[in-house]
Structure 1
Amino acid sequence: MEFKDYYAVLGVERDATQEEIKRAYRRLARKYHPDVSQETDADARFKELGEAYEVLKDPEKRLAYDQVGQGQRAGEDFRPPPDWDAGFEFRGGGYTQEGYSHEQSAAFSDFFESLFGQRRGSGQGFAGSSGDPGGMRYRARGEDHHAKVSIALEDAYRGAVRTLTLQSGELDEQGRVRPRQRTLKVRIPKGVKQGQRIRLAGQGEPGMGGGRAGDLYLEIEFESHRRYRVEGRDVTLILPVAPWEVALGATIAVPLPEGSVELKVPADSQDGRRLRLKGRGIPGEPPGDCYVALKIVLPPATNDDVKAAYRQLEAVANFNPRAAAEGRS
């Protein structure tokens, strides 16, 4: 996937004000509108302009785009890190409707979808109205906000209260985007799953005309861990074992997020064998399981005694690890 330089698409500098971005979009949109343009690539250019404007007109999207794209050039191979947007707070709401249709906005590139495709929402309508001697006054509910946050897997096992810092964008006095942070104390419920959303009532956009504030939805993801892999409520652990432990059998203390548990490794186990610890995954109704995948680690032959032990094993085992493969050829 190629990186898209939205600033170059609109022909503006990276420190352009929001007003400059709006003017550039409107000027180019008139030039390349498919209904009036004589340019052969008008349709493609118009869609590209709409995509660039969708990101750069929005302070939250623009700030996130600027940070994830630091050092990137147009056309370079690009893959956003899995957790690139963790801690960014986005407002709800759909694509802009200025200048192009829903069908055109649905044709945004894979690059856009990889960054913002899951940020689509629906704008909040009026929450109600009340009589006003000067006319009609509307109360509008505030937009919902969304953010992805990373937590430790241990928090899902035990539950926790965590202080989280979220980052969003806002405009300064000159109309340029600057970062804004806010800190929230959040209760992480025991048994929360990856992808689950926690709702914080009233922490979204303020309402209008006395309308209720929107909510903040925190999407949970787990911090990367060198030991565990998570799928739903199931947890897989790669457990290093010695050759004699799998050959002869052993009882091994397995480190789990909730504490160690004894695991019996059957004799004659092979590398990669998966052993199940029922109910030892993420808590829930029902709880997940923990799968322990055995990984045989050989002791290095760093001294004469170990080398002699390997030679003795070679002599008495009469073992050819390639026998099965050779037999199939």
Structure 2
Amino acid sequence: MEFKDYYAILGVAKDAELKEIKKAYRKLALEFHPDMNAADDAEEKFKEVAEAYEVLKDTEKRAEYDEIRKYGAGQKQGFTPPPGWQSESQHTHWDANSEDFSDFFNSVFSARRSRQQSHNDPFSQGYTRADYPMTGQDAELEVPIFLEDTLHSSAKTVEFMQSEVVNAQLVKKKKTLKVKIPQGVVDGQRIRLKGQGGKGSQGGENGDLYLHIRLVPHPLFDVQGHDLTMTLPLAPWEAILGTEITVPTLDGKVKMTVQPNSQTGQKLRIKGKGLKRKSGYGDLFAVLKIVNPPETDEKALTLWNELAKTSAFDPRKEWS
């Protein structure tokens, strides 16, 4: 008979606290439940997980198992209970139906047992397909958000496939939901909507819906943290003489002054016109770029020639 290492089955340490054991059990029970997993060995693994949890969830039962574990952990296939072990287990009570448990379980804990079920923990009430409470599956959904919509909270209608167990089969149906997107969301942010995921079965809770925020690329603005950057094109004479320009922002237009003798690559800051953050807003940075006219008429060409003759400016002076 094979020795059963219940700690290894649940993937927890031998000194694990009850909350760790319970968390591991719930995860594995959901993974291997026959209604959710079509693998040939899913039901056997599910029973093995249920058996391990049945023993480790109770302080008294766990203490007895820890004692016999010291005796038999190294025996593996050749395990037999120590002499007189059954008489030491007379007081033990089991919450779940044990007929489907392993030979190891029945050999070690084969003394008188009560089959009373616990009503405090739905995960301890057996594990048959008919009565096992199952938490619904979580759902993941990517939600595109325009930069303008991050400045305030907004309502958005989303659609996703909601899972549900019907007649012992996992089915998915389209669900439409109106959700509230909070102000100041950022790219990659994850928003949890409790109970809006897959439907639970047999009294189990619904799963959760997780919204993954993806900021839609903007034609004018690039995102850098909570700041925005944009390219501000200038005609050569605007850069030389200076000018006042109307600049678009996420929430309207503002006027800004470009100083004389401005250069390509210079950054001008427009305070508070970036994205929402915990306190206040980021800034908008306008990066100057001098752009030549695509076409030059006779009159303009004459002026450029005159400028070339009168100007002593040498842009390649550093080369000499």
Provide the TM-score with structure 2 as the length reference. Answer: 0.53
Task: Kindly provide the amino acid, as one letter, of the partner of residue 307 in structure 1.
Answer: L
1:151 aligns with 2:145: yes
Find the partner of 1:258 among 251, 265, 289.
Answer: 251
Task: Kindly provide the amino acid, as one letter, of the partner of residue 182 in structure 2.
Answer: P
Partner Cα separation in structure 1 for residue 254 and residue 263 of structure 2? 21
Task: Kindly provide the amino acid, as one letter, of the partner of residue 317 in structure 1.
Answer: S
Distance 1:320 1:199, change over 3 A: same
**Matched residue, 1:73:** none
Partner Cα separation in structure 2 for residue 208 and residue 180 of structure 1? 15
> Is contact 2:126–2:132 with CA below 8 Å preserved after alignment?
no
Offset at 1:213? 0.9
Offset at 1:308? 1.6
Provide the TM-score with structure 1 as the length reference. Answer: 0.52
**Matched residue, 2:184:** 191
Distance 1:161 1:210, change over 3 A: same
SS of the residue corresponding to residue 139 of structure 1 reads coil
SS of the residue corresponding to residue 307 of structure 1 reads helix
**Matched residue, 2:262:** 269
Offset at 1:259? 0.8
Structure 2 gap ranges (5+): 1-40, 43-119, 165-171
**Matched residue, 1:295:** 289
Question: Identity across aligned pairs (percent)?
Answer: 39
> Is contact 1:158–1:258 with CA below 8 Å preserved after alignment?
no
Partner Cα separation in structure 2 for residue 168 and residue 245 of structure 1? 58
Q: Map 1:20-99 to 2 at 5 A.
A: none
Task: Kindly provide the amino acid, as one letter, of the partner of residue 290 in structure 1.
Answer: L
Task: Kindly provide the amino acid, as one letter, of the partner of residue 290 in structure 2.
Answer: I
> Is contact 1:240–1:296 with CA below 8 Å preserved after alignment?
yes
SS of the residue corresponding to residue 150 of structure 2 reads helix
Task: Kindly provide the amino acid, as one letter, of the partner of residue 213 in structure 2.
Answer: I
**Matched residue, 1:237:** 230
Partner Cα separation in structure 2 for residue 152 and residue 288 of structure 1? 17
Deviations 1:255-304 (A, max 9, x none): 01111112222222211111122221112223211111112121233311
**Matched residue, 1:204:** 197
Larger Rg: 2
**Matched residue, 1:214:** 207
Distance 1:206 1:289, change over 3 A: same
Task: Kindly provide the amino acid, as one letter, of the partner of residue 268 in structure 2.
Answer: L
The number of equivalent residue pairs is 197
Partner Cα separation in structure 1 for residue 162 and residue 267 of structure 2? 43
> Is contact 2:136–2:197 with CA below 8 Å preserved after alignment?
yes
Deviations 1:171-214 (A, max 9, x none): xxxxxxxx975433222222111111222222212223212111
> Is contact 2:162–2:197 with CA below 8 Å preserved after alignment?
no
Partner Cα separation in structure 2 for residue 261 and residue 203 of structure 1? 42
> Is contact 1:128–1:140 with CA below 8 Å preserved after alignment?
no
